[in-house]
Amino acid sequence: MRTGRGFTMIELAIVLGLMALLLTPFLDLVVSVYRETRSLSVQADLMAEAERTANALFRRAALGPYQIHPDNHGIRFADASEVRFQDGILRMGQQAIPLQDFAAIRRNGVLTVHLCFQAPTRAGGPVKPRFFSFDWPAAGVPR
């Protein structure tokens, strides 16, 4: 007979099995927190892209008089450059930003820009339209 002290393989297997059983809910919690963090990151990135786009338009509009195209899908600026939305692309000089929709409206001296991105609402989720509206002179404050 064996007289050494220690644990048998069966005892170790039982302990490991119990630990796995007890740790499973914590693993689910860690995975759900990771997914939520990624979803918030996706939403923050999309908001930042919308703000960058709107602020670029507003900076150019601040340089002088501008005209909104009759179909509200473009703006012509004082320096004769223009921003135009066509075929799902917003063209701003050398930049081409994919959008689902774009509209520029001026009412009572306020320029409002509506941007619609096709993006997931959460990481790995389905792609859906996401709408953002920004007003200038109160730029950077989405409605």
pLDDT tens track for 15-60: 999 999 999 988 989 988 888 888 888 889 999 999 999 999 998 8
Confidence at residue 1, expressed as pLDDT on a 0 to 100 scale: 52
pLDDT tens digits for range 85-139:
999 999 998 889 999 999 999 988 899 999 999 888 777 778 899 999 999 886 4
If one counts the domains in the chain, the total is 1
| pLDDT value of residue 112 | 93
Domain, as residue range, for 67? 9-136
| pLDDT at res. 80 | 87
Domain membership flag for residue 143: no
> Measured between alpha carbons, how far is 42 from 117 in angstroms, rounded to an integer?
13
Q: What is the pLDDT, as a whole number, of residue 84? A: 95
At residue 143, the pLDDT reads: 46
Would you say residue 127 lies in a domain?
A: yes
**Integer angstrom CA distances of residue 77 from 69, 96, 118:** 11, 17, 27
With respect to residue 141, please indicate whether it lies within any of the assigned structural domains.
Answer: no
Asked, for residue 25, whether it belongs to a domain, the answer is yes
Q: Is there a domain that residue 2 lies in?
A: no
Contacts of 111 (CB under 8 A, 6+ apart): 58, 61, 66, 104, 105, 135, 136
Average pLDDT (68-83) is 92
- Does the residue 103 lie in any domain? yes
Q: Is position 80 within any domain?
A: yes
CB 116 within 8 A of CB 131: yes
